[in-house]
Amino acid sequence: MARKLFPTPTDCETAFYDALERADLKLMMAVWADEAAIVCIHPQGPRLAGMTAIRESFADLFSHGPNGTVQVSELRNQLSQTLAIHNVYETFLVKNNPAANNAPPILATNVYLLTPNGWRMTLHHASVAPRGTVAEEQGVTRILH
Amino acid sequence: MARKLFPTPTDCETAFYDALERADLKLMMAVWADEAAIVCIHPQGPRLAGMTAIRESFADLFSHGPNGTVQVSELRNQLSQTLAIHNVYETFLVKNNPAANNAPPILATNVYLLTPNGWRMTLHHASVAPRGTVAEEQGVTRILH
């Protein structure tokens, strides 16, 4: 597969969640920077560092194929010339499994680095948010779930 | 209290963990950037956004005074001219409570921004790591706990 080029951090983030929805390992690994320092923390998981450990974790996650959709919301971001930090809520909707759709949302911090090949992900840190979580956004407090 | 000046992201991080150990709310709030976009996620917690919500959470956490020490290890960092991202393990040692010292480590992503007042924290995302967690560090896999 030709290497993907992501002209903005948001393009890279869109590809990350597309890959997650499609269980597309090639696209997922094209999202990540080819750097030893990359870090991935799945919800309730340990810290995975480096391409090999991260690839293995997604290969395992994707082994049963696409499983539903993920909705990304409540973006808060910070940007410098070469680094971007996004913090978002992820809401998973699992196919044919209404029970799983009662799961709490996930909070994710995503870091993107401007490389010679465009923006790439260098860190994904996800954790389970409490059910009924409150998002304070621009002074407005509202219940997400 | 005079505003603190942190000439590097590491100075700011050291002050963050000093404030946490000492239960020093003034120092803790001097660590944070005075920006609406600041975000704090405590382990298993919701996303707290903005100075008021973050101050309240630390005031609550510190209400019983200092409670032990925190050891910070396994730093992985990324730096641009105006943003720095640190990912670390936090190990808490609670005074007079051996049972609490069996707790799993915490993984934290800390983001620092270069402001006119030096480096300040803009994001703290902490989550519980599995007990017996493995840190892969420069190709060397080792057990932390």
Domain map (residue ranges) of chain B: 9-143
For residue A49, list its beta bridge partners.
A39
Query: Which chain B residues have a beta carbon less than 8 Å from that of A125?
Result: 87, 107, 109, 125, 127
pTM: 0.90
Average confidence (pLDDT) per 10 residues, chain B, 145 residues = 82 98 97 93 94 96 92 92 95 81 89 95 96 54 42
pLDDT digits (tens, 9 = 90+) for A31-54: 999 988 899 999 999 999 999 999
Is the confidence at residue A135, as pLDDT, over 80?
Answer: no
Q: Chain-wide mean pLDDT for chain A?
A: 88
Confidence (pLDDT) at B4: 80
Confidence (pLDDT) at B80: 92
CA distance B63 to chain A (A): 23
pLDDT digits (tens, 9 = 90+) for A5-41: 999 999 999 999 999 999 999 999 999 999 888 999 9
Given 3.90.120.10, 1.10.3720.10, 3.10.450.50, 3.40.50.970, which CATH number is that of B9-143? 3.10.450.50
Strand residue runs (E) in B2-144: 39-41, 48-49, 68-79, 83-94, 106-115, 118-128, 134-137, 140-143
How far apart are alpha carbons B88 and A114 in whole angstroms?
23
State whether ipTM is beyond 0.85: yes
How far apart are alpha carbons B22 and B43 in whole angstroms?
19
Confidence (pLDDT) at B21: 96
The maximal CA–CA distance of chain A, rounded, in angstroms, is 45
- pLDDT > 90 fraction of chain A, expressed in percent and rounded: 72
Residues of B with CB under 8 A from a CB of A: 36-37, 39, 41, 43-50, 53, 74, 76, 78, 80-83, 85, 87, 89, 107, 109, 111, 113, 122-123, 125-130, 133-139
Structure tokens at B49: 């956004």
